[in-house]
Amino acid sequence: MAGDDAILETEGLTKDFRGFLAVKNVNLRVRAGTIHALIGPNGAGKTTCFNLLTKFLQPTSGRIRFKGRDITHLRPAQVAKLGIVRSFQISAVFSHLTALENVRVALQRRRGESFDFWRSEKVLRAYDGRARELLAAVGIEAMADVPAVELPYGQKRALELATTIALEPEVMLLDEPTSGLGREDVGRIAALIKEVAKGRTVLMVEHNLAVVADLSDTITVLARGEVLAEGDYARISTDPRVREAYIGSEEG
């Protein structure tokens, strides 16, 4: 079952919230270098899957493997250090730090642990150049010195992406990166994801099916915690079970 091109893989992944199975026996294979979309109606268990993969939640049963290595028992920060970095469904920026500082917090990880409370933060200026490059890459270099809390929502999501990329992750897990955005911003963020996905692996939860169709190599459909279907867009979009699951729960 384990193909050598799978970078992130789960086997029988299950999460039981006191009797409620939010994720049921999910076998997921994310191939290296691809964009893999996880879709499904609200409450299907997509975010829970992300929480399990990044160890923000401990699975009730099942295994998680990264490049063949079992990471089921690691702590979330350790998973991140291995190169699996997630974003959050609701934009997660450091509100009262400037955009530049937000990105720098990620870049600072290269120093290893930063317990040096006696040293001036001037040493962090070494990262300013790279931080500005990353802000420019997502189109918000003009906002470098603005506290994140003052950025419009679309720019917050862009900042989040810049912060994630700053870690040069091998695998990025993006939870609804375009949710809450206007149409123009959706296009911009989608293009950005496409750009930064080069040379990386992306697993993303996305509701906007146009974005999913445009970006993803593989799509996994989750419903009530279980994998309902898997394949490319053409195959998924014509699958009657998928249509039924979507219509059965909410919109289309």
Partner 1 sequence: MAARSEPAPIAVAVPSDVLRHQKLGIVLLAALLLVAPFVFYPVFVMKVLCFALFACAFNLLIGYVGLLSFGHAAFFGTASYAAGHAAKVWGLPFELAVPFATLCSAGLGLVFGWLAIRRQGIYFAMITLALAQMLYFFYLQAPFTGGEDGIQAIPRGKLFGILDLSNDLVIYWVVAAIFMGGFLLIYRTIHSPFGQVLKAIRENEARAISLGYDTDRYKLVAFTLSAALSGLAGGTKAIVFQLASLTDVHWTMSGEVVLMALVGGLGTVFGPVLGAAVIVSLQNYLAGLGHWVTIVQGLIFVACVLAFRRGIVGELAHLLKKPL
Ligand X SMILES: Nc1ncnc2c1ncn2[C@@H]1O[C@H](COP(=O)(O)OP(=O)(O)O)[C@@H](O)[C@H]1O
* Residues 6+ away with beta carbon under 8 Å from 77: none
Q: Minimal distance in Å, beta carbon 63 to Mg ion? A: 23
SS3 content of the chain, % helix, strand, coil (to 5): 40, 25, 35
Count CB atoms within 10 A of the CB of residue 209.
16
Site for partner 1 contains 200 (CB under 8 A): no
Subset of residues 77 to 106 that bind Mg ion, contact rule: CB under 5 A:
89
Determine the 3-state secondary structure of 86 from DSSP: strand
**24 or 109: CB nearest ligand X:** 24
73 binds partner 1 (CB under 8 A): no
Q: Which of 11, 101, 170, 206 binds partner 1 (CB under 8 A)?
A: 101
CB of 111 to ligand X, least distance (A): 33
What residues does 38 pair with on adjacent strands?
205, 220
* Contacts (CB under 6 A) with ligand X, residues 124-183: none
Q: Does 22 bind partner 1 (CB under 8 A)?
A: no
| Burial of 14: CB neighbours in 10 Å, binned 0-12, 13-18, 19+ | middle
Q: Is 178 in the site for Mg ion (CB under 5 A)?
A: no
Minimum distance between the CB of residue 26 and ligand X, rounded to whole angstroms?
A: 11
Q: Give the residue with the Cβ less far from ligand X, 47 or 201.
A: 47
Site string for ligand X, 198-237 (x = CB under 6 A): ----------------------------------------
Contacts to ligand X from residues 23-62, by CB under 6 A: 40, 42-48
User: Does residue number 80 form part of the binding site for partner 1 (CB under 8 A)?
Assistant: yes
Nearer to Mg ion, 47 or 216 (CB): 47
| Exposure b/e, 114-150, CB count within 10 A at least 16 = b | eeeeeeeeeebeebeeebeebbebbebbebbeebbee
206 C-beta neighbours (distance < 10 Å), count: 26
Q: Which does 48 bind (CB under 5 to 8 A by kind): ligand X, Mg ion, partner 1, none?
A: ligand X
Structure tokens at 45: 């268990």
